[in-house]
Structure 1
């Protein structure tokens, strides 16, 4: 796959007529200062959009483009979880492996890899942290020493980014390499995701934007150049995320190359908590009740995806063969997840109102 996906030009024109105006209206009403979007339908890129400035500050004269990298927040968890599934394919571990088998310092003997991936290990939620570069080892040591439990494994789901920091630690210990190395070798390079990285230090000034404050008038420096993490902080573009999302529509293939086995893709799309938490091993799943409220009303119950605190969402709907990524830097947009529902309704409406010309 090339660095830039080929656009289905005829479809692009029709999508643009349906989507450009309402997406630009969301920017003009101040929901977000900028937005990038990419949509894949039936395995082909049918739409991309990039518009706006990094902030609503009147003196900000910068513009974002399709190659501008954004902090995509908790969409990071999808990628980290997918890397964990790659190790399952390699026979390294299973969902039922005790975490302590791979991280001896982990304090609970009965929590499994699957519990971490579905936020159901019973942990008491940790205070939000944002470790600086070089501080991750100390941060994780503190997690293992201070982790408390408030429920038995599998009893309840408590969403906590720390779960995926532990998964990252497991991946790094087993591979002997930073998570960036694993992701680049197994996903980013094969998929041509050249603008995606766990390590924001690879970007030059001007190549990326930071998450905005709630009024969207300033970028928040606290998120700049932080430590690579398994649960948040991945930088990417809408088009790169669309490349990754398209794997879930192509049974794990990218052209002639197999990135995931068909069985692994089916596993990542399948609800894995006996219906309790509407969670696959890597993403939220809509189901009939849409427990998270971020999916389109027009999505099928089989739709999967995940939002990120910085106003981003990746969605895959295998029933309609549609994948989409919305990438912004607006915590204001993220504050009410119905905003994702509204934007994804636009995309699903456009995607299911026309047939592609082959």
Structure 2
């Protein structure tokens, strides 16, 4: 069984390989891994992001762990391996894992209607548009064909959405006016759910993948089901036991100097400042299960290695092997929609993770069944069970995030020689 990597070794992984004169570590070429630093430094020089932390592990051994560039937008403070990043949507897999742990404990089932725990969302309507014979469009709100389930939240087939990506101006305006996403003002979870229940869904539940606030809703459902705040649930079930010491919804004052910054020139800079504030500021609004956490590469490595190990890390089991397999299968069979805006072509979606559907179709190498996701501010990961590989890239380069994900994946798989 693969065990967890100890970071006293990990921090000096490449230096020790070089000292030993090894050309290949766990099937990864040291010479090719050395290319990563040069490419990352060039991206910093190009203004793609201020800096980055990159980490690669294969077969349970860390083979690459580096910090390049700068932590601050002014490019005066060198990036460090323990710099803290706004993880944004890389929060989603953590919350989904905690929810699946509750499924294993019998707290709820994934096919339970969410209204059983969130009655504010009981009688949801769906916006339906029809084109008339004269070319005009008629829009009406019809009852949902079936209830939204917990599985719908985990795989983004609920019909909820993100306002910024919504084509329907009516629905987009409704989210903004109701402050559903707590974009510029704080709102409690109870009030958000009350308002959300009055806004139509974009699609019938279970018919279409649409990236959305679904995992924010899942986080609130977890709170109701456990009668505990989301941060407490995650700390007790996942973050604390895994030893993710720098992962939280806020950055304590004594760690604030380690928080990486989005470039001033990036259009998403203002949005980034709503994340990873102080504890008192963050708790004025609902904790976003889909976007709210901050953390380090070392912390997220522990989480991903647990998934790669089939639910176990350093002697403690978090999920069963079969549950992990179930989460990394495609749950969108027969549905519409696409993950391409986040993954490029060739991916479906499981429970909390995008999953590669086939060989030979995509924008970068990988394996059928590999999993990935990323965050809006420039964080991303790849998890490849077939190759026993995980790779993490943390930047705060929001606008160029899709480009950066595939650039890094090319470098990772380009270093694999065995």
* Superposition TM-score, scaled by structure 1 size: 0.86
* Paired position in structure 1 for 2:135: none
* Paired position in structure 1 for 2:273: 221
CA pair 152-212 structure 1, distance change in 2 beyond 3 A: same
* Paired position in structure 2 for 1:99: 114
- Which of these residues, 303, 307, 312, is aligned with residue 370 of structure 2? 303
Aligned partners of 1:217 and 1:84: how far apart in 2? Answer: 30
CA displacement at 1:312 relative to structure 2: 0.8
CA pair 139-284 structure 1, distance change in 2 beyond 3 A: farther
Aligned partner of residue 209 in structure 1, secondary structure: coil
RMSD: 2.8
The answer to whether residue 352 in structure 2 is matched with residue 285 in structure 1 is: no
Aligned partners of 2:161 and 2:82: how far apart in 1? Answer: 38
- Which of these residues, 215, 231, 234, is aligned with residue 164 of structure 1? 215
Runs of at least 4 residues off by over 6 Å: 216-219
What does 1:129-140 align with in structure 2 at a 5 Å threshold?
129-130=181-182, 135-137=187-189, 139-140=191-192
CA displacement at 1:125 relative to structure 2: 4.5
Aligned partner of residue 88 in structure 2, secondary structure: coil
More off after superposition, 4-13 vs 76-85: 4-13
Contact 1:124 1:147 in 2 (8 A): no
Aligned partners of 1:272 and 1:134: how far apart in 2? Answer: 33
* Paired position in structure 2 for 1:353: 417
Aligned partner of residue 34 in structure 2, secondary structure: helix
- Which of these residues, 300, 309, 328, is aligned with residue 395 of structure 2? 328
CA pair 5-262 structure 1, distance change in 2 beyond 3 A: farther
* Paired position in structure 2 for 1:112: 149
- Which of these residues, 223, 228, 242, is aligned with residue 177 of structure 1? 228
Contact 1:5 1:45 in 2 (8 A): no
- Which of these residues, 185, 196, 210, is aligned with residue 144 of structure 1? 196
CA displacement at 1:50 relative to structure 2: 0.9
Aligned partners of 1:100 and 1:49: how far apart in 2? Answer: 45
CA pair 144-6 structure 1, distance change in 2 beyond 3 A: same
* Paired position in structure 2 for 1:255: 314
The answer to whether residue 46 in structure 2 is matched with residue 29 in structure 1 is: yes
* Paired position in structure 2 for 1:47: 64
* Paired position in structure 1 for 2:172: none
Contact 1:302 1:318 in 2 (8 A): yes
CA pair 27-279 structure 1, distance change in 2 beyond 3 A: same
Aligned partner of residue 393 in structure 2, secondary structure: strand
* Paired position in structure 2 for 1:338: 403
CA displacement at 1:255 relative to structure 2: 2.0
Aligned partners of 1:243 and 1:308: how far apart in 2? Answer: 18
CA pair 242-2 structure 1, distance change in 2 beyond 3 A: closer
- Which of these residues, 328, 331, 335, is aligned with residue 269 of structure 1? 328
CA pair 14-202 structure 1, distance change in 2 beyond 3 A: farther
Number of equivalent positions = 345
CA displacement at 1:55 relative to structure 2: 4.2
The answer to whether residue 159 in structure 2 is matched with residue 122 in structure 1 is: yes
CA displacement at 1:3 relative to structure 2: 7.8
Structure 1 unpaired stretches of 5+: none
* Superposition TM-score, scaled by structure 2 size: 0.75
More off after superposition, 256-265 vs 195-204: 195-204
Structure 2 unpaired stretches of 5+: 18-24, 125-145, 164-174, 339-347
The answer to whether residue 242 in structure 2 is matched with residue 191 in structure 1 is: yes
CA pair 170-318 structure 1, distance change in 2 beyond 3 A: same
* Paired position in structure 2 for 1:81: 96
CA pair 102-15 structure 1, distance change in 2 beyond 3 A: farther
* Paired position in structure 2 for 1:314: 381
CA displacement at 1:187 relative to structure 2: 1.4
Structure with greater Cα Rg: 2
Contact 2:159 2:210 in 1 (8 A): yes
CA displacement at 1:71 relative to structure 2: 0.3
Aligned partners of 1:218 and 1:103: how far apart in 2? Answer: 33
Aligned partner of residue 7 in structure 2, secondary structure: coil
* Paired position in structure 1 for 2:344: none
